[in-house]
Amino acid sequence: MGHGRRYEEDDEDMSEVLGLKEKLGRNVFKHIEHPHIVIKEGKANDPRLRAAVYVCPAGLYSVNEAGEVELTIDGCLECGTCRLACGPELLEWNYPVGGTGVQFRFG
């Protein structure tokens, strides 16, 4: 016999299948004063950096009108995909300071 709580009619159904955008929308992002990922100086035009535009699951990288890659750090999932795709010669990548960054919720 289990001693766990019994299922109630009004309990939330956690078996709901969510899409990627819905899952990401449930995450909480705590502001980071100093970005934990920075495109190294003079590397915004490096063609290898465009890989981050395609592989970042949060869509944080984009190409501006001048053809340079830009990074918007808010919403970073801290997965390291950009780090793997672009390498240490293009990006300075660290985990955010404790208590900041992403907090995953039901995703």
Tokens of 23: 């899952």
Q: What is the pLDDT along the chain (107 residues), one digit of tens a residue?
A: 556 666 565 555 555 677 766 766 666 666 777 888 899 999 999 999 999 999 999 899 999 999 999 999 888 888 899 999 999 999 998 887 776 666 666 64
The reported pLDDT for the residue numbered 103 is: 65
Integer Cα distance of 25 and 1 in angstroms: 38
Q: What would the CATH number be for the domain defined by 34-95?
A: 3.30.70.20
Q: For residues 75-104, b (16+ Cβ closer than 10 Å) or e, as one string?
A: ebbeeeebbebbeeebbebeebeeeebbee
Q: How far is CA 60 from the centre of its chain?
A: 8
Integer Cα distance of 35 and 71 in angstroms: 10
Closest-CA residue to 82 (of 40, 32, 31, 22): 40
Domain residue ranges in the chain:
34-95
The reported pLDDT for the residue numbered 28 is: 64
What pTM, to 2 d.p., does this model score?
Answer: 0.69
